Protein backbone atom coordinates (compact mmCIF):
# COMPACT_ATOMS: atom_id res chain seq x y z
CA UNK A 1 0.00 0.00 0.00
CA UNK A 2 1.31 3.45 -0.88
CA UNK A 3 1.91 5.90 1.91
CA UNK A 4 0.36 9.33 1.25
CA UNK A 5 2.60 12.11 2.49
CA UNK A 6 0.70 15.17 3.78
CA UNK A 7 2.58 18.45 4.04
CA UNK A 8 2.50 20.06 7.46
CA UNK A 9 0.62 23.30 7.85
CA UNK A 10 2.83 25.93 9.38
CA UNK A 11 1.21 29.05 10.80
CA UNK A 12 2.96 32.38 10.59
CA UNK A 13 4.20 33.51 13.99
CA UNK A 14 2.41 36.45 15.57
CA UNK A 15 4.60 39.44 15.15
CA UNK A 16 5.01 42.30 17.57
CA UNK A 17 3.26 44.61 15.10
CA UNK A 18 0.10 42.49 15.10
CA UNK A 19 0.08 42.36 18.89
CA UNK A 20 0.56 46.12 19.14
CA UNK A 21 -2.20 46.79 16.61
CA UNK A 22 -4.54 44.54 18.56
CA UNK A 23 -3.76 46.34 21.80
CA UNK A 24 -4.36 49.73 20.17
CA UNK A 25 -7.67 48.56 18.70
CA UNK A 26 -8.75 47.18 22.07
CA UNK A 27 -7.78 50.43 23.82
CA UNK A 28 -9.75 52.51 21.29
CA UNK A 29 -12.78 50.25 21.70
CA UNK A 30 -12.55 50.48 25.49
CA UNK A 31 -12.31 54.28 25.36
CA UNK A 32 -15.32 54.46 23.04
CA UNK A 33 -17.37 52.19 25.31
CA UNK A 34 -16.31 54.22 28.34
CA UNK A 35 -17.34 57.46 26.63
CA UNK A 36 -20.77 56.03 25.79
CA UNK A 37 -21.24 54.87 29.37
CA UNK A 38 -20.16 58.26 30.73
CA UNK A 39 -22.58 60.06 28.41
CA UNK A 40 -25.44 57.79 29.52
CA UNK A 41 -24.57 58.34 33.19
CA UNK A 42 -24.41 62.10 32.67
CA UNK A 43 -27.83 62.14 30.97
CA UNK A 44 -29.25 59.99 33.75
CA UNK A 45 -27.87 62.29 36.45
CA UNK A 46 -28.97 65.49 34.74
CA UNK A 47 -32.46 64.56 33.55
CA UNK A 48 -33.44 61.65 35.77
CA UNK A 49 -34.59 58.17 34.92
CA UNK A 50 -37.99 59.15 33.50
CA UNK A 51 -36.65 61.45 30.80
CA UNK A 52 -33.76 59.09 30.11
CA UNK A 53 -36.12 56.17 29.46
CA UNK A 54 -38.46 58.40 27.42
CA UNK A 55 -35.54 59.26 25.12
CA UNK A 56 -34.63 55.57 24.78
CA UNK A 57 -38.24 54.60 24.06
CA UNK A 58 -38.56 57.33 21.43
CA UNK A 59 -35.36 56.14 19.76
CA UNK A 60 -36.52 52.52 19.71
CA UNK A 61 -39.98 53.54 18.45
CA UNK A 62 -38.42 55.48 15.57
CA UNK A 63 -36.59 52.32 14.49
CA UNK A 64 -39.79 50.28 14.38
| Count of all residues that appear for the chain in the document | 64
0.85 cut: is pTM over it?
A: no
Mean pLDDT for 51-57 is 84
- Whether 52 and 43 have beta carbons less than 8 Å apart is answered as yes
pLDDT in tens, 7-48: 676 666 667 677 888 899 999 999 999 999 999 899 888 888
pLDDT at 37: 95
CA distance 27 to 46: 28
pLDDT surpasses 60 at 1: no
Amino acid sequence: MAHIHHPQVVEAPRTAERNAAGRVALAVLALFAGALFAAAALLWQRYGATVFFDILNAGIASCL
